[in-house]
Structure 1
């Protein structure tokens, strides 16, 4: 006979709160993202309060972008706001065995995915600027609806400087996402196409293995290589800019622009 599970009861108390601001609603929903079906109301309150709770730190929940966002308020006050969110159907309670865990409602997720997709766009832009193309691997298991909204925002941004990192993402993406990424790349490449550097062409593929090899070289030596690339236009050694790293039969090379005249340049890394 199956043993009966005694679920931990949850008593919600919004403490007389009539309304939360849009910012508070978005903040609480963002904090809940790391706890969906893995944590409950009290742990969320600790994140928002900026608690130094041992369990919270062990789970690295202090890395949440809203950690300490409601610092200065008591955890009781914060918990009342979380309960208001549940009572107003932005969040809900579900059970894993006997413990109550937070989940999004459709209403709450619609708001959160807007917030999160904006956050991802900022991270993607930063990763592209720093040539940290490995960032796209963190997108693999994200909610499909979130990813398509994220791609719509990339497309609407018109930022053709994101094409290279999108190609890197396309290399590792699942089939349906790969098709959408291809469409976004097509749209971005139409933006001021005549200004696109000659090395930014359809055949360009970012090699994660090549990047790993390149970054294994001490930074001081990488800087020396970047400043010593021959330009056929300047007929001199120049500083390569806006470059990508490629690999061919185990040999890596840099492909970019001359820092002086903008001409396409390349260099094999010995």
Structure 2
């Protein structure tokens, strides 16, 4: 005999007409660590900064948005999460009988952009603090859409300071990514020659 899945009951607050874009980004950033793994309750605990066993077991205390809503109640946080579901930034899917959160196309586009910005900011601090060779292995198995967006952002800066970092990155990544890295490097060198 098959069990029917219980639908997830979302909370809608009529007083919450819209959510500031920064809050949407914050919720999507917090959700990144538990996409297809956890649901609304776990996301609520992450945003409230809970030290619950399931939060710590998954290492979610290192999430950049951990504790961002510690001043709000569970109900208030859940209403904000549900708002992002109602407005198609996140959706609930089932992994077996467990309801888990996944990005929608709109939610993923925002998170991809936000994550690419974080990586480029990390490059800036890496260039300011470290010496060559730069350890770029942490980027090797990242989502290719994010990686290509990072490379677009570097190309758009037209700043040659990224060349040493790109050279070290090209040594360790896959062929398609290496080809795009070389293309960005050529663009930066061409821009530098054009400016002079």
TM-score, structure 2 normalization: 0.90
Secondary structure of 2:171's match? helix
RMSD of aligned residue pairs (Cα, Å): 1.8
Aligned to 2:102: 103
Aligned residues: 191
Higher relative contact order (CA 8 A, sep 6+): 2
**Pairing 1:73-92 to 2, within 5 Å after superposition:** 73-92=72-91
In structure 2, what is the Cα distance between the partners aligned to 1:145 and 1:8?
A: 34
Q: Deviations over 1:185-219 (max 9, x none)?
A: 1122345459xxxxxxxxxxxxxxxxxxxxxxxxx
User: Where does structure 2 lack aligned partners over 5 or more consecutive residues?
Assistant: none
Displacement after TM superposition at 1:110 (Å): 1.1
Aligned to 2:164: 164
Greater gyration radius: 1
Asked if the contact 1:7–1:97 (Cα under 8 Å) also holds between the matched residues in 2, the reply is no
In structure 1, what is the Cα distance between the partners aligned to 2:180 and 2:62?
A: 30
**Pairing 1:14-163 to 2, within 5 Å after superposition:** 14-16=12-14, 17-129=16-128, 130-131=130-131, 133-134=134-135, 136-163=136-163
Displacement after TM superposition at 1:93 (Å): 0.7
Displacement after TM superposition at 1:15 (Å): 2.3
Displacement after TM superposition at 1:14 (Å): 2.2
Secondary structure of 1:112's match? helix
In structure 2, what is the Cα distance between the partners aligned to 1:144 and 1:14?
A: 35
Asked if the contact 1:113–1:146 (Cα under 8 Å) also holds between the matched residues in 2, the reply is yes
In structure 2, what is the Cα distance between the partners aligned to 1:143 and 1:185?
A: 21
Q: Deviations over 1:6-40 (max 9, x none)?
A: 53531101222211001101111111111110111
Displacement after TM superposition at 1:82 (Å): 0.4
Displacement after TM superposition at 1:54 (Å): 2.0
Asked if the contact 1:90–1:108 (Cα under 8 Å) also holds between the matched residues in 2, the reply is yes
Q: As a proportion of its length, which structure holds more helix?
A: 2
TM-score, structure 1 normalization: 0.66
Aligned to 1:174: 174
